[in-house]
Amino acid sequence: MRIFKGTAVFSGIAIGTVSLYKKNESKVKRIHGEDAETEKERFTWAVEQACEQLGKLYDKALTEVGEASAAIFEAHQMMIEDDDYIESVEHIIESQKVNAEYAVACTSDNYASMFQAMDDEYMRGRAADVKDVSNRIINILKGEGMQVVEGDNSLIVVADDLAPSETVQMDKSKVISFVTRYGSSNSHTAILARTMNIPALIKVEFPEDIHGKTAIVDGYEGALIVEPDEEALEKYTKKRDEYMRRRKLLQELKGKENVTRDGRKIELYANIGGVSDAISALQNDAGGIGLFRSEFLYLGSDSYPTEDEQFGAYKSVAEAMAGKKVIIRTLDIGADKQADYFGLEREENPAMGFRAIRICLKRPEVFKTQLRAILRASMYGNISIMFPMIISVAEVRTIKAILAQVKDELKKDGIPYKDIEIGVMIETPAAALISDELAKEVDFFSIGTNDLTQYTLAIDRQNEQLAHIYDTHHPAVLRMIEMVVNNGHAHNCWVGICGELASDIELTKRFIDMGVDELSVSPAFILELREKIREL
Ligand code: PEP
Ligand code: MG
Protein backbone atom coordinates (compact mmCIF):
# COMPACT_ATOMS: atom_id res chain seq x y z
CA MET A 1 0.00 0.00 0.00
CA ARG A 2 1.34 3.44 -0.98
CA ILE A 3 -0.18 6.77 0.03
CA PHE A 4 0.27 10.00 -1.95
CA LYS A 5 -0.98 13.19 -0.36
CA GLY A 6 -2.51 16.13 -2.18
CA THR A 7 -5.24 18.75 -1.92
CA ALA A 8 -8.88 17.75 -2.27
CA VAL A 9 -10.94 20.00 -4.54
CA PHE A 10 -14.14 17.98 -4.25
CA SER A 11 -15.02 15.59 -1.50
CA GLY A 12 -16.21 12.00 -1.61
CA ILE A 13 -14.61 8.60 -1.78
CA ALA A 14 -13.81 6.76 -4.99
CA ILE A 15 -12.54 3.20 -5.22
CA GLY A 16 -11.42 2.04 -8.66
CA THR A 17 -8.53 1.52 -11.05
CA VAL A 18 -5.87 4.07 -11.94
CA SER A 19 -5.87 5.21 -15.55
CA LEU A 20 -2.79 7.27 -16.30
CA TYR A 21 -3.39 10.06 -18.81
CA LYS A 22 -0.44 11.11 -20.91
CA LYS A 23 -0.36 14.20 -23.04
CA ASN A 24 0.50 13.84 -26.69
CA GLU A 25 3.13 16.50 -26.82
CA SER A 26 6.23 14.64 -27.89
CA LYS A 27 7.24 14.73 -31.51
CA VAL A 28 7.12 11.66 -33.74
CA LYS A 29 10.62 10.20 -34.06
CA ARG A 30 11.91 8.63 -37.26
CA ILE A 31 13.32 5.25 -36.36
CA HIS A 32 15.20 3.63 -39.21
CA GLY A 33 15.74 -0.09 -39.72
CA GLU A 34 12.50 -1.33 -38.20
CA ASP A 35 11.04 -4.70 -39.15
CA ALA A 36 8.53 -3.70 -41.87
CA GLU A 37 6.12 -6.59 -41.24
CA THR A 38 5.89 -5.86 -37.52
CA GLU A 39 5.38 -2.15 -38.18
CA LYS A 40 2.62 -2.88 -40.70
CA GLU A 41 0.89 -5.12 -38.15
CA ARG A 42 1.16 -2.37 -35.51
CA PHE A 43 -0.36 0.06 -37.99
CA THR A 44 -3.28 -2.27 -38.81
CA TRP A 45 -3.91 -2.77 -35.10
CA ALA A 46 -3.84 0.98 -34.42
CA VAL A 47 -6.31 1.63 -37.26
CA GLU A 48 -8.70 -0.93 -35.74
CA GLN A 49 -8.37 0.69 -32.33
CA ALA A 50 -8.93 4.15 -33.81
CA CYS A 51 -12.06 2.95 -35.63
CA GLU A 52 -13.40 1.53 -32.40
CA GLN A 53 -12.70 4.82 -30.56
CA LEU A 54 -14.37 6.81 -33.33
CA GLY A 55 -17.40 4.53 -33.27
CA LYS A 56 -17.78 5.17 -29.55
CA LEU A 57 -17.27 8.92 -29.99
CA TYR A 58 -19.94 8.86 -32.70
CA ASP A 59 -22.45 7.20 -30.36
CA LYS A 60 -21.57 9.59 -27.54
CA ALA A 61 -21.85 12.70 -29.72
CA LEU A 62 -25.11 11.43 -31.16
CA THR A 63 -26.74 11.33 -27.73
CA GLU A 64 -25.05 14.48 -26.40
CA VAL A 65 -25.00 16.92 -29.31
CA GLY A 66 -26.93 15.30 -32.13
CA GLU A 67 -26.48 13.78 -35.56
CA ALA A 68 -24.88 16.76 -37.29
CA SER A 69 -22.06 16.92 -34.77
CA ALA A 70 -21.59 13.17 -34.62
CA ALA A 71 -21.13 12.90 -38.40
CA ILE A 72 -17.56 14.17 -38.12
CA PHE A 73 -16.50 10.97 -36.33
CA GLU A 74 -18.08 8.86 -39.06
CA ALA A 75 -16.18 10.88 -41.66
CA HIS A 76 -12.95 10.33 -39.72
CA GLN A 77 -13.60 6.60 -39.66
CA MET A 78 -14.00 6.55 -43.44
CA MET A 79 -10.81 8.54 -43.87
CA ILE A 80 -8.59 6.05 -42.06
CA GLU A 81 -10.18 3.09 -43.75
CA ASP A 82 -9.49 4.63 -47.13
CA ASP A 83 -7.36 2.29 -49.31
CA ASP A 84 -5.09 5.07 -50.62
CA TYR A 85 -4.34 6.28 -47.11
CA ILE A 86 -3.52 2.76 -45.89
CA GLU A 87 -1.40 1.99 -48.95
CA SER A 88 0.54 5.21 -48.52
CA VAL A 89 1.46 4.39 -44.91
CA GLU A 90 2.41 0.81 -45.77
CA HIS A 91 4.46 1.93 -48.72
CA ILE A 92 6.48 4.34 -46.57
CA ILE A 93 7.07 1.63 -43.94
CA GLU A 94 8.32 -0.78 -46.60
CA SER A 95 10.31 1.50 -48.83
CA GLN A 96 11.96 3.57 -46.11
CA LYS A 97 12.17 0.86 -43.42
CA VAL A 98 10.78 3.19 -40.79
CA ASN A 99 8.48 2.92 -37.78
CA ALA A 100 4.68 3.09 -38.21
CA GLU A 101 4.36 6.39 -36.29
CA TYR A 102 6.70 8.12 -38.69
CA ALA A 103 4.98 6.66 -41.77
CA VAL A 104 1.59 7.86 -40.51
CA ALA A 105 2.99 11.34 -39.79
CA CYS A 106 4.46 11.55 -43.34
CA THR A 107 1.21 10.41 -44.93
CA SER A 108 -0.70 12.88 -42.81
CA ASP A 109 1.54 15.77 -43.93
CA ASN A 110 1.30 14.72 -47.60
CA TYR A 111 -2.48 14.45 -47.54
CA ALA A 112 -2.90 17.68 -45.61
CA SER A 113 -0.74 19.59 -48.13
CA MET A 114 -2.70 18.04 -50.98
CA PHE A 115 -6.03 19.11 -49.46
CA GLN A 116 -4.73 22.57 -48.64
CA ALA A 117 -3.73 23.13 -52.27
CA MET A 118 -7.26 22.47 -53.55
CA ASP A 119 -9.54 25.23 -54.82
CA ASP A 120 -12.65 23.94 -53.14
CA GLU A 121 -13.03 25.41 -49.63
CA TYR A 122 -14.69 22.30 -48.28
CA MET A 123 -11.80 20.13 -49.45
CA ARG A 124 -9.26 22.53 -47.96
CA GLY A 125 -11.02 22.06 -44.64
CA ARG A 126 -10.31 18.31 -44.83
CA ALA A 127 -6.62 18.99 -44.13
CA ALA A 128 -7.41 19.45 -40.42
CA ASP A 129 -9.43 16.22 -40.41
CA VAL A 130 -6.69 14.10 -41.89
CA LYS A 131 -4.23 15.52 -39.34
CA ASP A 132 -6.65 14.82 -36.53
CA VAL A 133 -7.28 11.17 -37.44
CA SER A 134 -3.60 10.59 -38.09
CA ASN A 135 -2.77 12.00 -34.66
CA ARG A 136 -5.27 9.62 -33.17
CA ILE A 137 -3.44 6.67 -34.78
CA ILE A 138 -0.05 8.03 -33.71
CA ASN A 139 -1.24 8.43 -30.12
CA ILE A 140 -2.50 4.86 -30.11
CA LEU A 141 0.84 3.65 -31.45
CA LYS A 142 2.70 5.65 -28.80
CA GLY A 143 0.32 4.64 -26.04
CA GLU A 144 -0.68 8.23 -25.31
CA GLY A 145 -3.99 9.74 -24.30
CA MET A 146 -6.17 8.19 -21.64
CA GLN A 147 -4.94 4.67 -21.05
CA VAL A 148 -8.13 2.77 -20.64
CA VAL A 149 -7.93 -0.25 -18.40
CA GLU A 150 -9.85 -2.85 -20.37
CA GLY A 151 -13.16 -3.91 -18.98
CA ASP A 152 -12.97 -1.49 -16.08
CA ASN A 153 -15.80 0.94 -15.57
CA SER A 154 -14.46 2.72 -12.49
CA LEU A 155 -11.48 4.75 -13.60
CA ILE A 156 -9.47 7.14 -11.48
CA VAL A 157 -7.92 9.41 -14.11
CA VAL A 158 -4.44 10.44 -13.00
CA ALA A 159 -2.63 13.12 -15.00
CA ASP A 160 -0.05 15.87 -14.76
CA ASP A 161 -2.77 18.34 -15.62
CA LEU A 162 -5.92 18.26 -17.72
CA ALA A 163 -7.07 20.92 -20.16
CA PRO A 164 -10.80 21.34 -20.75
CA SER A 165 -10.26 20.19 -24.35
CA GLU A 166 -8.91 16.91 -22.96
CA THR A 167 -11.54 16.24 -20.30
CA VAL A 168 -14.31 16.97 -22.75
CA GLN A 169 -13.22 14.00 -24.88
CA MET A 170 -13.21 11.48 -22.06
CA ASP A 171 -15.82 8.81 -21.65
CA LYS A 172 -17.15 10.29 -18.44
CA SER A 173 -19.45 7.39 -17.72
CA LYS A 174 -16.33 5.48 -16.64
CA VAL A 175 -14.52 8.23 -14.72
CA ILE A 176 -15.05 8.17 -10.95
CA SER A 177 -12.31 10.58 -9.90
CA PHE A 178 -9.64 12.98 -11.17
CA VAL A 179 -6.18 13.26 -9.64
CA THR A 180 -3.66 15.75 -11.01
CA ARG A 181 -0.09 16.68 -10.22
CA TYR A 182 -0.71 20.37 -10.94
CA GLY A 183 -3.81 22.54 -11.21
CA SER A 184 -5.70 24.70 -8.74
CA SER A 185 -9.00 24.42 -6.96
CA ASN A 186 -10.45 26.90 -9.46
CA SER A 187 -9.19 25.06 -12.50
CA HIS A 188 -11.75 23.69 -14.88
CA THR A 189 -10.86 20.11 -13.99
CA ALA A 190 -11.93 20.92 -10.43
CA ILE A 191 -15.13 22.53 -11.68
CA LEU A 192 -15.79 19.51 -13.90
CA ALA A 193 -15.30 17.15 -10.95
CA ARG A 194 -17.88 19.13 -8.99
CA THR A 195 -20.31 19.04 -11.90
CA MET A 196 -19.82 15.29 -12.18
CA ASN A 197 -20.06 14.98 -8.42
CA ILE A 198 -16.89 12.94 -8.13
CA PRO A 199 -13.94 13.39 -5.75
CA ALA A 200 -10.89 15.14 -7.15
CA LEU A 201 -7.37 15.85 -5.92
CA ILE A 202 -4.68 18.22 -7.11
CA LYS A 203 -0.99 18.54 -6.26
CA VAL A 204 -0.42 14.82 -5.93
CA GLU A 205 3.13 13.62 -6.66
CA PHE A 206 2.56 10.17 -8.14
CA PRO A 207 4.93 7.73 -9.85
CA GLU A 208 3.97 6.34 -13.28
CA ASP A 209 3.93 2.71 -12.19
CA ILE A 210 0.51 3.13 -10.62
CA HIS A 211 -1.30 2.69 -13.94
CA GLY A 212 -3.78 -0.16 -13.80
CA LYS A 213 -3.52 -0.53 -10.00
CA THR A 214 -6.46 -0.53 -7.62
CA ALA A 215 -6.66 2.73 -5.70
CA ILE A 216 -8.75 4.81 -3.34
CA VAL A 217 -9.26 8.56 -3.64
CA ASP A 218 -10.01 10.16 -0.30
CA GLY A 219 -11.61 13.47 -1.20
CA TYR A 220 -11.86 14.47 2.48
CA GLU A 221 -8.25 14.06 3.57
CA GLY A 222 -6.72 14.63 0.13
CA ALA A 223 -5.05 11.25 -0.35
CA LEU A 224 -4.53 8.78 -3.16
CA ILE A 225 -4.06 5.31 -1.71
CA VAL A 226 -2.61 2.86 -4.21
CA GLU A 227 -2.98 -0.90 -3.73
CA PRO A 228 -4.76 -0.50 -0.40
CA ASP A 229 -4.47 -3.31 2.14
CA GLU A 230 -7.60 -5.10 3.27
CA GLU A 231 -8.05 -2.93 6.34
CA ALA A 232 -7.95 0.30 4.31
CA LEU A 233 -10.25 -1.12 1.66
CA GLU A 234 -12.79 -2.08 4.31
CA LYS A 235 -12.56 1.29 6.06
CA TYR A 236 -13.00 3.26 2.85
CA THR A 237 -15.79 1.08 1.51
CA LYS A 238 -17.66 1.89 4.73
CA LYS A 239 -16.89 5.59 4.36
CA ARG A 240 -18.04 5.58 0.76
CA ASP A 241 -21.29 3.88 1.72
CA GLU A 242 -21.87 6.50 4.44
CA TYR A 243 -21.33 9.24 1.87
CA MET A 244 -23.88 7.58 -0.40
CA ARG A 245 -26.35 7.39 2.49
CA ARG A 246 -25.90 11.10 3.12
CA ARG A 247 -26.59 11.84 -0.54
CA LYS A 248 -29.72 9.72 -0.32
CA LEU A 249 -30.88 11.66 2.73
CA LEU A 250 -30.43 14.87 0.82
CA GLN A 251 -32.70 13.46 -1.87
CA GLU A 252 -35.55 13.89 0.62
CA LEU A 253 -35.17 17.62 0.16
CA LYS A 254 -36.25 17.31 -3.46
CA GLY A 255 -39.40 19.26 -4.19
CA LYS A 256 -38.97 21.43 -1.08
CA GLU A 257 -38.61 25.21 -1.23
CA ASN A 258 -35.35 27.14 -0.79
CA VAL A 259 -36.73 29.18 2.07
CA THR A 260 -35.23 30.35 5.36
CA ARG A 261 -37.08 29.95 8.68
CA ASP A 262 -38.04 33.62 8.50
CA GLY A 263 -39.51 33.16 5.04
CA ARG A 264 -36.82 34.55 2.74
CA LYS A 265 -36.51 32.75 -0.58
CA ILE A 266 -33.66 32.34 -3.01
CA GLU A 267 -33.44 30.52 -6.34
CA LEU A 268 -31.01 27.61 -6.64
CA TYR A 269 -29.90 26.94 -10.20
CA ALA A 270 -27.27 24.65 -11.72
CA ASN A 271 -24.04 25.30 -13.62
CA ILE A 272 -23.64 22.99 -16.59
CA GLY A 273 -21.14 22.45 -19.39
CA GLY A 274 -23.23 20.45 -21.82
CA VAL A 275 -26.45 18.69 -22.63
CA SER A 276 -25.70 15.62 -20.53
CA ASP A 277 -25.20 17.73 -17.38
CA ALA A 278 -28.83 18.87 -17.59
CA ILE A 279 -29.78 15.40 -16.33
CA SER A 280 -27.67 15.92 -13.26
CA ALA A 281 -29.30 19.35 -12.76
CA LEU A 282 -32.74 17.77 -12.86
CA GLN A 283 -31.76 14.86 -10.61
CA ASN A 284 -30.63 17.38 -8.02
CA ASP A 285 -33.79 19.43 -8.37
CA ALA A 286 -32.27 22.58 -9.81
CA GLY A 287 -34.77 25.40 -10.26
CA GLY A 288 -33.12 26.21 -13.58
CA ILE A 289 -29.76 26.48 -15.30
CA GLY A 290 -27.94 29.57 -14.06
CA LEU A 291 -24.84 29.08 -16.19
CA PHE A 292 -24.58 26.98 -19.33
CA ARG A 293 -20.88 27.22 -20.19
CA SER A 294 -21.46 27.08 -23.95
CA GLU A 295 -17.74 27.06 -24.73
CA PHE A 296 -17.68 23.35 -23.96
CA LEU A 297 -19.56 22.78 -27.22
CA TYR A 298 -16.64 24.44 -28.97
CA LEU A 299 -13.98 22.64 -26.94
CA GLY A 300 -15.54 19.27 -27.74
CA SER A 301 -15.26 19.87 -31.45
CA ASP A 302 -12.46 19.93 -34.05
CA SER A 303 -13.96 22.89 -35.85
CA TYR A 304 -16.50 25.62 -35.18
CA PRO A 305 -19.77 23.99 -34.16
CA THR A 306 -22.37 24.92 -36.77
CA GLU A 307 -25.52 26.88 -36.04
CA ASP A 308 -27.58 23.70 -36.29
CA GLU A 309 -25.31 21.78 -33.94
CA GLN A 310 -25.54 24.53 -31.36
CA PHE A 311 -29.25 24.93 -31.87
CA GLY A 312 -29.65 21.18 -31.21
CA ALA A 313 -27.73 21.41 -27.92
CA TYR A 314 -29.54 24.53 -26.62
CA LYS A 315 -32.92 23.17 -27.65
CA SER A 316 -32.24 19.84 -25.88
CA VAL A 317 -31.39 21.62 -22.62
CA ALA A 318 -34.35 24.01 -22.90
CA GLU A 319 -36.72 21.10 -23.51
CA ALA A 320 -35.21 18.97 -20.76
CA MET A 321 -35.67 21.82 -18.27
CA ALA A 322 -39.31 22.07 -19.32
CA GLY A 323 -40.00 25.76 -18.87
CA LYS A 324 -37.43 26.37 -16.12
CA LYS A 325 -34.99 29.16 -16.82
CA VAL A 326 -31.90 28.22 -18.86
CA ILE A 327 -29.22 30.92 -18.95
CA ILE A 328 -26.82 30.36 -21.81
CA ARG A 329 -23.53 32.17 -21.50
CA THR A 330 -22.05 33.02 -24.87
CA LEU A 331 -18.67 31.68 -25.82
CA ASP A 332 -16.02 32.20 -23.11
CA ILE A 333 -12.99 30.79 -24.87
CA GLY A 334 -9.35 31.88 -24.41
CA ALA A 335 -7.16 31.88 -21.31
CA ASP A 336 -7.23 28.30 -19.99
CA LYS A 337 -9.89 27.21 -22.50
CA GLN A 338 -8.21 26.79 -25.86
CA ALA A 339 -9.42 25.26 -29.12
CA ASP A 340 -6.78 25.02 -31.85
CA TYR A 341 -9.09 25.89 -34.72
CA PHE A 342 -9.63 29.40 -33.32
CA GLY A 343 -5.98 30.00 -34.21
CA LEU A 344 -5.46 32.24 -31.19
CA GLU A 345 -1.97 33.59 -30.78
CA ARG A 346 0.07 32.80 -27.72
CA GLU A 347 -0.21 35.64 -25.22
CA GLU A 348 1.99 36.83 -22.41
CA ASN A 349 -1.01 37.30 -20.19
CA PRO A 350 -3.87 35.14 -21.44
CA ALA A 351 -6.23 35.70 -18.48
CA MET A 352 -6.19 39.39 -19.31
CA GLY A 353 -5.98 38.80 -23.02
CA PHE A 354 -8.02 37.99 -26.05
CA ARG A 355 -10.86 35.96 -24.60
CA ALA A 356 -14.62 35.63 -24.22
CA ILE A 357 -16.68 38.58 -25.47
CA ARG A 358 -13.53 40.21 -26.82
CA ILE A 359 -13.17 37.39 -29.34
CA CYS A 360 -16.89 37.49 -30.15
CA LEU A 361 -16.83 41.21 -30.89
CA LYS A 362 -13.73 40.86 -33.09
CA ARG A 363 -15.19 37.87 -34.93
CA PRO A 364 -18.85 38.77 -35.37
CA GLU A 365 -19.49 35.83 -37.70
CA VAL A 366 -18.68 33.39 -34.86
CA PHE A 367 -20.77 35.43 -32.43
CA LYS A 368 -23.75 35.81 -34.74
CA THR A 369 -23.87 32.08 -35.46
CA GLN A 370 -24.18 31.46 -31.73
CA LEU A 371 -26.79 34.18 -31.22
CA ARG A 372 -28.91 32.78 -34.06
CA ALA A 373 -28.72 29.30 -32.56
CA ILE A 374 -29.73 30.59 -29.11
CA LEU A 375 -32.60 32.70 -30.45
CA ARG A 376 -33.92 29.80 -32.54
CA ALA A 377 -33.77 27.51 -29.49
CA SER A 378 -35.66 30.11 -27.43
CA MET A 379 -38.89 28.79 -28.95
CA TYR A 380 -38.46 25.51 -27.07
CA GLY A 381 -38.28 26.67 -23.47
CA ASN A 382 -37.34 29.52 -21.17
CA ILE A 383 -33.95 30.66 -22.42
CA SER A 384 -31.99 33.72 -21.30
CA ILE A 385 -28.63 34.82 -22.61
CA MET A 386 -25.67 36.36 -20.83
CA PHE A 387 -22.33 37.73 -21.86
CA PRO A 388 -18.98 37.10 -20.13
CA MET A 389 -16.03 39.38 -19.30
CA ILE A 390 -17.87 42.66 -19.73
CA ILE A 391 -15.95 45.81 -18.83
CA SER A 392 -17.98 48.67 -20.30
CA VAL A 393 -21.41 50.00 -21.19
CA ALA A 394 -20.20 50.48 -24.76
CA GLU A 395 -19.58 46.74 -25.08
CA VAL A 396 -23.09 45.97 -23.90
CA ARG A 397 -24.56 48.43 -26.40
CA THR A 398 -22.54 46.90 -29.23
CA ILE A 399 -23.72 43.45 -28.20
CA LYS A 400 -27.32 44.63 -28.13
CA ALA A 401 -26.95 46.12 -31.60
CA ILE A 402 -25.57 42.82 -32.94
CA LEU A 403 -28.39 40.93 -31.22
CA ALA A 404 -30.92 43.27 -32.86
CA GLN A 405 -29.30 42.64 -36.25
CA VAL A 406 -29.52 38.88 -35.76
CA LYS A 407 -33.19 39.20 -34.79
CA ASP A 408 -33.84 41.24 -37.96
CA GLU A 409 -32.18 38.60 -40.06
CA LEU A 410 -34.24 35.85 -38.45
CA LYS A 411 -37.39 37.87 -39.02
CA LYS A 412 -36.50 38.28 -42.68
CA ASP A 413 -35.91 34.54 -42.96
CA GLY A 414 -39.27 33.88 -41.32
CA ILE A 415 -37.63 32.04 -38.40
CA PRO A 416 -39.43 32.47 -35.07
CA TYR A 417 -37.70 33.46 -31.80
CA LYS A 418 -38.67 34.93 -28.45
CA ASP A 419 -37.56 38.25 -27.00
CA ILE A 420 -35.43 36.71 -24.31
CA GLU A 421 -33.99 38.23 -21.13
CA ILE A 422 -30.43 39.42 -21.45
CA GLY A 423 -27.84 39.65 -18.71
CA VAL A 424 -24.17 40.25 -18.18
CA MET A 425 -21.64 38.52 -16.02
CA ILE A 426 -20.08 40.71 -13.42
CA GLU A 427 -16.64 39.19 -13.25
CA THR A 428 -14.31 42.15 -13.66
CA PRO A 429 -13.85 44.88 -11.05
CA ALA A 430 -14.72 47.37 -13.84
CA ALA A 431 -18.14 45.80 -14.32
CA ALA A 432 -18.76 45.73 -10.57
CA LEU A 433 -17.82 49.39 -10.19
CA ILE A 434 -20.09 50.52 -13.04
CA SER A 435 -22.87 48.08 -12.21
CA ASP A 436 -25.27 51.01 -11.67
CA GLU A 437 -24.75 51.96 -15.34
CA LEU A 438 -24.84 48.39 -16.61
CA ALA A 439 -28.04 47.66 -14.72
CA LYS A 440 -29.88 50.14 -16.93
CA GLU A 441 -28.93 48.09 -19.99
CA VAL A 442 -29.85 44.55 -18.99
CA ASP A 443 -32.40 42.37 -17.19
CA PHE A 444 -30.06 40.56 -14.83
CA PHE A 445 -26.54 40.21 -13.49
CA SER A 446 -24.70 37.00 -12.74
CA ILE A 447 -21.62 37.49 -10.61
CA GLY A 448 -18.69 35.33 -11.71
CA THR A 449 -16.74 35.21 -8.49
CA ASN A 450 -13.97 33.01 -9.90
CA ASP A 451 -12.77 35.70 -12.26
CA LEU A 452 -13.94 38.59 -10.08
CA THR A 453 -11.69 37.31 -7.29
CA GLN A 454 -8.83 36.71 -9.71
CA TYR A 455 -8.95 40.24 -11.10
CA THR A 456 -9.73 41.99 -7.82
CA LEU A 457 -6.92 40.33 -5.92
CA ALA A 458 -4.61 40.28 -8.97
CA ILE A 459 -4.08 36.56 -8.46
CA ASP A 460 -4.13 34.16 -11.39
CA ARG A 461 -6.80 31.63 -10.41
CA GLN A 462 -4.67 28.82 -11.86
CA ASN A 463 -1.47 29.72 -10.04
CA GLU A 464 -0.87 27.08 -7.39
CA GLN A 465 1.85 29.11 -5.71
CA LEU A 466 -0.62 31.82 -4.85
CA ALA A 467 -3.50 29.56 -3.82
CA HIS A 468 -2.86 30.36 -0.15
CA ILE A 469 -3.63 34.06 -0.69
CA TYR A 470 -6.49 33.55 -3.15
CA ASP A 471 -8.85 34.50 -0.36
CA THR A 472 -12.38 33.76 -1.55
CA HIS A 473 -13.79 35.59 1.49
CA HIS A 474 -11.71 38.70 0.87
CA PRO A 475 -13.69 41.75 2.01
CA ALA A 476 -13.00 43.51 -1.29
CA VAL A 477 -14.82 40.77 -3.18
CA LEU A 478 -17.70 40.57 -0.69
CA ARG A 479 -18.13 44.36 -0.75
CA MET A 480 -18.26 44.30 -4.51
CA ILE A 481 -20.92 41.60 -4.47
CA GLU A 482 -23.04 43.66 -2.11
CA MET A 483 -22.57 46.75 -4.23
CA VAL A 484 -23.60 44.88 -7.39
CA VAL A 485 -26.74 43.55 -5.68
CA ASN A 486 -27.71 47.06 -4.54
CA ASN A 487 -27.02 48.63 -7.92
CA GLY A 488 -28.89 45.88 -9.71
CA HIS A 489 -31.94 46.11 -7.51
CA ALA A 490 -32.03 49.91 -7.77
CA HIS A 491 -32.59 49.47 -11.52
CA ASN A 492 -34.92 46.48 -11.62
CA CYS A 493 -32.22 44.03 -12.42
CA TRP A 494 -32.16 40.72 -10.58
CA VAL A 495 -28.80 39.48 -9.33
CA GLY A 496 -27.37 35.98 -9.08
CA ILE A 497 -23.96 34.48 -8.34
CA CYS A 498 -22.62 31.72 -10.58
CA GLY A 499 -18.96 31.48 -9.51
CA GLU A 500 -17.78 28.76 -7.16
CA LEU A 501 -18.36 31.03 -4.18
CA ALA A 502 -22.11 30.56 -4.62
CA SER A 503 -21.80 27.08 -3.12
CA ASP A 504 -19.81 28.16 -0.06
CA ILE A 505 -22.21 27.42 2.79
CA GLU A 506 -20.27 29.67 5.15
CA LEU A 507 -21.50 32.58 3.04
CA THR A 508 -25.06 31.51 2.32
CA LYS A 509 -26.53 33.59 5.15
CA ARG A 510 -24.50 36.58 4.08
CA PHE A 511 -25.69 36.31 0.48
CA ILE A 512 -29.31 36.05 1.58
CA ASP A 513 -28.86 39.06 3.88
CA MET A 514 -27.42 41.00 0.94
CA GLY A 515 -30.53 40.17 -1.07
CA VAL A 516 -28.93 37.94 -3.71
CA ASP A 517 -31.78 36.53 -5.82
CA GLU A 518 -30.17 33.39 -7.16
CA LEU A 519 -27.23 31.08 -6.57
CA SER A 520 -26.05 28.90 -9.42
CA VAL A 521 -23.85 26.00 -8.39
CA SER A 522 -22.61 22.61 -9.51
CA PRO A 523 -25.60 20.25 -9.46
CA ALA A 524 -24.11 18.24 -6.60
CA PHE A 525 -24.30 21.25 -4.26
CA ILE A 526 -27.95 22.14 -4.76
CA LEU A 527 -29.54 19.94 -2.12
CA GLU A 528 -26.79 20.65 0.37
CA LEU A 529 -27.42 24.37 -0.08
CA ARG A 530 -31.17 23.87 0.23
CA GLU A 531 -30.58 22.11 3.54
CA LYS A 532 -28.44 25.04 4.70
CA ILE A 533 -30.98 27.66 3.61
CA ARG A 534 -33.83 25.88 5.38
CA GLU A 535 -31.82 25.90 8.61
CA LEU A 536 -31.18 29.67 8.51
C1 PEP B 1 -16.55 32.91 -13.00
O2 PEP B 1 -15.59 33.51 -13.47
O3 PEP B 1 -16.88 32.97 -11.79
C4 PEP B 1 -17.38 32.05 -13.85
C5 PEP B 1 -18.50 31.53 -13.43
O6 PEP B 1 -16.93 31.78 -15.12
P7 PEP B 1 -15.76 30.71 -15.45
O8 PEP B 1 -15.43 29.98 -14.19
O9 PEP B 1 -16.29 29.81 -16.51
O10 PEP B 1 -14.67 31.60 -15.93
MG1 MG C 1 -15.40 33.65 -15.63
Determine whether 263 is exposed, middle or buried from the number of CB atoms within 10 Å of its CB (0-12, 13-18, 19+): exposed
Q: What is the CATH number of the domain that holds 108?
A: 1.10.274.10
Torsion of CA 129, 134, 136, 139, to 10 degrees: -150
Farthest CA pair distance, the chain = 82
Distance between CA 315 and CA 223 in Å, rounded? 41
Q: Is 360 a catalytic residue?
A: no
Q: Read off the pLDDT of each residue in 522-531 and give the average, rounded to a whole number.
A: 93
Q: Is residue 321 part of a domain?
A: yes
CATH of the domain at 373: 3.20.20.60
Closest atom of ligand 1 to CA, residue 186? 8
Task: Let me know: does 495 contact 435? Beta carbons within 8 Å.
Answer: no
**Mean model confidence pLDDT for the chain:** 90
Domain assignment present for 254: no
- 101 and 183 part of one domain: no
Domain presence at residue 27:
no
Which atom of ligand 1 lies closest to the CA of 499? Answer: 3
Query: What is the pLDDT at residue 168?
Result: 67
pLDDT of 165 reads: 59
Predicted pLDDT at 463: 86
Give the rounded percent of residues in the chain with a pLDDT score beyond 90.
Answer: 61
Residue 248 has pLDDT above 90, yes or no: no
The answer, yes or no, to whether residue 178 has pLDDT greater than 80, is yes
The closest-lying atom of ligand 1 relative to the alpha carbon of residue 450 is: 3
pLDDT band at 23 (very low <50, low <70, confident <90, very high): low
Per-residue pLDDT at 405 exceeds 90: yes
Residue 163 Cα to ligand 2 middle (Å): 16
Element (H, E) at 259: none
CA 199 – CA 418 distance, rounded (Å): 40
Indicate the pTM of the whole model: 0.69
Q: How many helices (H) and strands (E) does the chain have?
A: 20, 17
Of 110, 126, 142, the domain-final residue: 142
357 and 505 within one domain? yes
State if residue 499 touches ligand 1 by the CB under 6 angstroms criterion.
Answer: yes
Cβ–ligand 1 distance for 518 under 6 Å, the answer no
Range of the domain at 11: 2-21+148-231
Catalytic residue flag (residue 51) = no
330 and 187 in a common domain: no
Give the Cβ contact number of residue 465 at 10 Å.
9
123 with 171, same domain: the answer is no
> In this structure, are 134 and 152 located in the same domain?
no
169 and 40 both lie in a single domain: no
- Asked if 335 and 290 sit in the same domain, the reply is yes
Alpha-carbon torsion 154, 157, 163, 169, what sign? Answer: negative
269-291: per-residue pLDDT in tens? 999 998 878 888 988 999 999 99
Domain contains 205: yes
pLDDT at 374 over 80: yes
Domain count within the chain: 3
Residue 150 clears pLDDT 80, i.e. is over it: no
Out of 231, 247, 280, a domain closes at 231
Q: Residue 450: CB within 6 Å of ligand 1?
A: yes
Structural domain contains residue 248 = no
